[in-house]
Every structure is written in C-alpha cells, then in structure tokens.
Amino acid sequence: QLPPIGYGNPFSDLLQMKSTFQSFELKTVHRQAAKSGILTDANKIRAGEFPVSEPALRVVSGENKDMLYAFRDDRENMQELSVRRFMSAVESHGIDNVVMVVPRRMNCLNSTDELNAMIQSKLFSKSVPSIRRGYDVFKLGARVIQTENNYEKSVMNGEMGYIVDLDERAPADDECISVRFKDID
C-alpha cells in the first residue's frame, strides 16, 4: 500500500494519539503458512533487515521454499526470466492462480504494458479476435482487472474477469468489450 500524498494520513495520525485512542497491533498473519518464505521475509523487512543476505542469480527462502529471488544485471534478461517464470507457473497452477506484480504500468521495458504484450503473444494465437485501443490490445479470452469502482455494475477496483465478447468493428469511442467477472452476470 502506498502512503498518501499530501493531506490524508488519518490512521497514522490517530495512532500517534495513544492517550486519546486505544489501538491494537495485529501480529498474527493468517494469509501465509507459518513456514512460508513470504512470511519470513516480510517479517525481516518489517524489522528493517534485507531479506537476502547475499544476492545470487537465484535465492529460494523459507522452509516451504516458496519465496524466490532472481537477480539479473540487465532489464532484458529480467524481462525474459519474468515471462518464462510466469508461463511456467501458469502451466503448473493455472492462469487463475498466478499473478505478476510489476511496479510500473507503462513507458519502460518491464512495465505492465510490455509484459502483458509478451505474455499475451504466448497465451493467444494471432488469429484470436482482438481490439486495439490506443496502446492497449484486448484479446478475446484474456484476463483483465478492473481499475476503478463501478457501482452501477457492482464491479470494484481489483476484481478480475475475462473478456467474453468484443466487437472488432465498433468505433474507438464505443463500448465494444464484454467482460465476465466472477459471481456477476
């Protein structure tokens, strides 16, 4: 979670007022296994420690061996490794159970836009119907994520769905993509 910009740091401000408000610190993690490298490394980071003692090409941590670090000297190698690992994870666990988190959305080599294009080229043949809107290409069957709340359609920021229909002939300013979100008709 990114810190707020400018005004709007209410929870941090409230925690500073310990004499006025009672607060509790949550210490038990329920989303990760106790022996998970994810949990172990998150605790190290919270304590101000770097989770990897000596960077190598590949470092696996945690008793469950579920946290992988891969260090590369250049962005092209990192891009190729990221796409290869993503595709391998999809093959092992299924597309619905794999997510790649990227810090930049666009305008750089390893942005979400760049990686999505590479992954889509591996997941979908060129004959799959698609629509280009600006720099974005939407392919029939592709998984998408909602990026803002839409109260009218009961679809919230962060929900994932699949493109189930698209109209390749629609003008650029028309709605031309149908997405099915889980549990929403």
Whole-number pLDDT of residue 57: 82
pLDDT at 8 over 70: no
Whole-number pLDDT of residue 15: 80
CB 149 within 8 A of CB 129: no
Q: How far is CA 28 from CA 38, 45, 50, 71, 139, in A?
A: 14, 16, 21, 30, 41
pLDDT, tens only, 36-68 = 998 889 889 888 999 988 878 888 888 998 888
Whole-number pLDDT of residue 157: 92
Whole-number pLDDT of residue 124: 94
CB 116 within 8 A of CB 122: no
pLDDT at 185 over 60: no
* CA–CA separation, 175 and 153 (whole Å): 14
- Cα distance from N-terminal residue to C-terminal residue, the chain: 30
Higher pLDDT, 23 or 36: 36
pLDDT at 1 over 70: no
* CA–CA separation, 162 and 116 (whole Å): 14
pLDDT at 4 over 60: no
pLDDT, tens only, 72-112 = 889 899 899 999 999 999 999 999 889 888 888 888 888 98
The residues pairing with 178 across neighbouring beta strands, listed in sequence order, are: 165
Residue 95: CA count within 13 A, CB half-sphere: 12
The residues pairing with 160 across neighbouring beta strands, listed in sequence order, are: 145
Name residues whose C-beta falls within 8 Å of residue 35's C-beta, 6 or more positions apart in sequence.
Answer: 62, 63, 64
pLDDT, tens only, 108-152 = 888 988 999 899 999 999 999 999 887 788 999 999 999 999 999
Whole-number pLDDT of residue 182: 80
CB 173 within 8 A of CB 164: no
pLDDT at 5 over 80: no
Arithmetic mean of pLDDT, 32-36? 86
Higher pLDDT, 15 or 94: 94
Query: Residue 81, exposed/middle/buried by CB under 10 A (0-12, 13-18, 19+)?
Result: middle
Tokens read off for 150: 């839409």
Across 96-167, the runs of DSSP E, i.e. the strands, are 130-133, 136-139, 143-145, 160-166
* CA–CA separation, 73 and 109 (whole Å): 14
